Structure 1
């Protein structure tokens, strides 16, 4: 089964245990006691940093006209949860994940898929180094980055939504924290953006600020403003 995923990834793992670990969601550990397994959370942590490095290096070299703040904004859009979940779907990662029955029933949410994708990057790095991860990742990042820059999709979602909401509906958006789940090193925040009493959008992220940006983006899309 893992041979199929290795074919998709374009590499053969020298240490198959790394790949298996990357595919193990914490819900599987909770429902499968006594096997001495670990989840993919540590690999996800590593993969997140590798993704940040590769994307920052690529953006710095490719877009010399962008200022530091603009590069930060482009990267935030480029590697957000929604994008990583899409990458995970493109390689059919859901078919290989070890998850608890509850997660299997929901099909694995975007956060689960994004986390697993980052864990795969961490496993690839530990097994064969940074260049292998770059070869796998850059063809996915490059076209998307050009689209984001060319269409100026990196403009701050909260600022854009506030500007449009005030202009079109005469309301200033407000944000409220719905939930905060998971351990401190891998916490997930869920935030709603309100226009008056109406929930205009909902977002998730590893910190409150990211979740607010995702909520604003969801609201912009829902209203057809972007």
Structure 2
């Protein structure tokens, strides 16, 4: 082996060792196959292929992890809330696995530090945090099976975050609540969306939430969906005493 190849090999070995140590700290157990976990943090822009020529990215593991997380949370809620009907359990599960909550979990573990990408991480949207958290769960399932997957979700999600009483009062979507209230009270509503770009050249969207032809709230964000949700949240707090809606 040439000196260059030996140095390169040692460098890769050192990187693998650091990655292995850090991942083991997060998991709480020793991984069997470190390569599976590397896939959980490989962005498609990295343009990496496996031995069969298939592209490697975290997206397939994200799909698998999403299913595992949903199954474990569903099982927990089923056992913990014996009085809950299908609608109640579905809504509660949605609160636990909401995109906002998954992004929070990914950020708390600082998983983005492991991502291999040809795109600077500052250009990723917020959802990258939740996506790789789900991909990590998918990797655990492939590497160690359902039991370890369940233990990890219990440790990282259920014990610190799943409080039934608090979940019952948690709002997933203020926009849905506002729409539901308007329909119930037979009030007209409209989200007026317009471009509201700043001087830095980044694209922003402005939203005016109209209820019965009156402007109730305004907002501005980098996406229409975010702007609508912010406006709806402001409207909710402005009309909170009137909005007696179970969520």
Indicate yes or no: 2:47 matched with 1:39.
no
Question: Which residue in 2 is equivalent to 1:77?
Answer: 95
| Residues 141 and 200 (structure 1), Cα distance of their counterparts in 2 relative to 1, 3 Å cut | farther
Q: 2:74 aligns with which of 51, 56, 73?
A: 56
| Residues 72 and 5 (structure 1), Cα distance of their counterparts in 2 relative to 1, 3 Å cut | same
Q: CA deviation at 1:91?
A: 1.4
Aligned-partner SS, 2:163: helix
Q: CA deviation at 1:138?
A: 1.6
Indicate yes or no: 2:105 matched with 1:123.
no
Structure 1 CA distance for aligned equivalents of residues 90 and 115 of structure 2:
31
Structure 2 CA distance for aligned equivalents of residues 122 and 34 of structure 1:
18
Structure 1 CA distance for aligned equivalents of residues 60 and 25 of structure 2:
24
Indicate yes or no: 2:195 matched with 1:195.
no
Question: Which residue in 1 is equivalent to 2:158?
Answer: 141
Structure 2 CA distance for aligned equivalents of residues 69 and 203 of structure 1:
33
Structure 2 CA distance for aligned equivalents of residues 222 and 90 of structure 1:
27
Structure 1 range deviating more: 67-76 or 151-160: 151-160
| Residues 156 and 111 (structure 1), Cα distance of their counterparts in 2 relative to 1, 3 Å cut | closer
Structure 2 CA distance for aligned equivalents of residues 124 and 92 of structure 1:
17
| Residues 151 and 34 (structure 1), Cα distance of their counterparts in 2 relative to 1, 3 Å cut | closer
Question: Which residue in 2 is equivalent to 1:92?
Answer: 110
Q: CA deviation at 1:118?
A: 0.7
- Using CA pairs under 8 Å that are at least 6 residues apart, name the structure with larger relative contact order, 1 or 2: 1
Structure 2 CA distance for aligned equivalents of residues 34 and 67 of structure 1:
44
Structure 1 CA distance for aligned equivalents of residues 227 and 165 of structure 2:
18
Aligned-partner SS, 1:116: helix
Structure 1 range deviating more: 192-201 or 20-29: 192-201
Q: CA deviation at 1:192?
A: 9.3
Figure out how many residues of one structure are paired with residues of the other and give that number: 200
Structure 1 CA distance for aligned equivalents of residues 42 and 163 of structure 2:
33
| Residues 68 and 22 (structure 1), Cα distance of their counterparts in 2 relative to 1, 3 Å cut | same
| Residues 143 and 15 (structure 1), Cα distance of their counterparts in 2 relative to 1, 3 Å cut | closer
Structure 2 CA distance for aligned equivalents of residues 155 and 25 of structure 1:
28
- CA RMSD in angstroms, aligned pairs only: 3.8
Deviations 1:24-60 (A, max 9, x none): 011222xx69996511111111111101100110111
Structure 2 CA distance for aligned equivalents of residues 192 and 151 of structure 1:
31
Q: CA deviation at 1:224?
A: 6.4
Which has more radius of gyration? 2
Aligned-partner SS, 2:63: helix
Q: TM-score, normalised by structure 2?
A: 0.66
Q: TM-score, normalised by structure 1?
A: 0.71
